[in-house]
Structure 1
Amino acid sequence: MVAHAAHPGSSSRVRRRALLGTAVLAALVALAGLAAYLARDGRSVPENPASKPYIRPRALLIAPKTRDPIAYGRAAAAALWSYDTRAYSQSELRKALHGWLTAEAQYADPASVDKAVPSAVLWQEMAANGQFATARVNEGHFPHAFTQALQADPGAITQAYVYAVTVSGKQSIVWKGSPAGGAESRSTTLAVRCRPGRPCALVGVLPSVAP
């Protein structure tokens, strides 16, 4: 974040843009604290066959070129819930996920993305067991608090074009010696930036889920 600007007016504008970029995140974090992981309701989702993905290592997922914030949020959640210790390193996964972030550094929150990746030490242990995970996205939507804010002030989104998207689904994990693996319901709320006429990009991952 810029600490100084050439002119007082410029400094004010830079500070205002930064605040606008984080306003949606800050508001939803406060609201989501009351309903953290409420969406972990164990919905029934068909599981991926354990044998198929274990035969062929998974490639790193690439961000789609879409202007739909919900479609982008669904794809980003799938990327965050997927990994393959047989195919790439922990640092390569982090680098790939950072590629989903907006190029505008004042809005991007790479630290929130890193928190979704297993630590380097844990990754080594998982790699020794050939562990990998696949994601099945069930649905994505704008959180209730976000839609209420838009209804109250429809023009507010045009200031930063940051959308909140909550995604739910299931993560299936497989490792050597356990072809059946295990699975659990997952949900997350993401901040997605979709400027008019440009593909969407990830801003960050909220620490709690906004229903």
Structure 2
Amino acid sequence: MPKPKSLVSGGDSTFRRRLLIGLGVLLVVGLLAGLLARLAGGGHTDHPAPSPSSSVRSTPSATASARPSTAATAAGATVARPPHTSSPTDFAAAFATTLWSYDSRRVTQQNFLSGLRLWFTSESQYADGDSVAGQVPDPVLWSRMRDTGQTSTASGATAHVPDAYTKAIAQNPGALTQAYIYAVTVTAKVNIAWDGGGRGAEDRAVTLAIQCRPGSDCALAAVAPTVYP
């Protein structure tokens, strides 16, 4: 099957791979602390170090209260736009809901990927489009889904920052101020339907790397390769 192209072109692919590798070991606090230290040492920032209690809550949990814009989603023709929010958990819940919600009869696979591109950070060195493209059915499978009229709807999305990430930030809060990227795990119920009355449902979870710089709306950096508790 053909591999979907990257949603975001340019940037340092080596850096993106290292970012994903770092996110992939979030459960090991020591390794995550090392990643954060490398991010902090990679450049200078004039922003003050955020307080862990305010920027990464110890018991964070959020629903998709920051809803993506639906003005351009009439009849499922396009993909929801990202919300205006400074909350990494609200943004992550909204993105996961969009990622898992589609109508294959009314949007092409290419247009769906193009819509998801709008959620990415403009800082290409942090944006990994391939990680998101890998979550979307490839063109051949999408075509088969369209033939059977398959739709997917995500609901009840909840998001939280993994404990390992929170602890690592608390131990070294200055490490966050290089990229302002948060790890956020989202869970939701996904209902799938197709022609002839066929239906199915499943619980899904994904861990996202969300960039939320002070004074700016949050944006997507990547989908992490592992889901964390």
Q: Tell me the TM-score normalized by structure 1.
A: 0.76
| Aligned with residue 205 of structure 1, among 212, 220, 223 | 223
| Match in the other structure for 2:57 | none
Give the equivalent residue in structure 1 for 2:150: 131
Query: 1:206 Cα shift?
Result: 1.1
Partners of 1:27 and 1:104 lie apart in 2 by 18
Answer yes or no: is 1:162 the counterpart of 2:157: no
Cα deviation code 1:103-126 (max 9, x no counterpart): 111110000010111010001110
Cα deviation digits, residues 76-95 of structure 1 (max 9, x gap) = 11111111111110000011
Unaligned 5+ segments in structure 2 are 1-10, 29-73
Unaligned runs of 5+ in 1: 4-14, 34-55
* Higher deviation after alignment, 194-203 or 133-142: 133-142
Q: Which amino acid aligns with 2:25?
A: A
Q: How does 1:4-153 map to 2 (within 5 A)?
A: 18=15, 23=19, 25-31=20-26, 57-58=75-76, 59-153=78-172
Whether the 8 Å contact between 1:133 and 1:171 is mirrored in structure 2 is yes
The CA deviation string for residues 140-194 of structure 1, in whole angstroms up to 9 with x for no partner, is 0001111011111111111110000000111100100025x11000000000001
Instruction: Provide the alpha-carbon RMSD of the alignment.
Output: 2.3
Question: TM-score normalized by structure 2?
Answer: 0.70
Q: Distance in 2 between matches of 1:210 and 1:100?
A: 22
Indicate if the aligned counterparts of 1:74 and 1:137 stay in contact, CA closer than 8 A.
no
Tell me the residue number matched to 2:53.
none
Task: Answer with 1 or 2: which has the greater Rg.
Answer: 1
Equivalent pair of 1:150/1:156 in contact (CA under 8 Å): yes
Compared with structure 1, are the counterparts of its residues 2 and 126 closer, same or farther at alpha carbon in structure 2 (3 Å cutoff)? closer
Paired residue type of 1:80:
L
Aligned AA for 1:26? I
Identity %: 43
**Aligned-residue offset at 1:22:** 5.0
Amino acid at match of 2:98: A
Contact 2:26 2:165 in 1 (8 A): no
**More helix as a share of residues:** 1
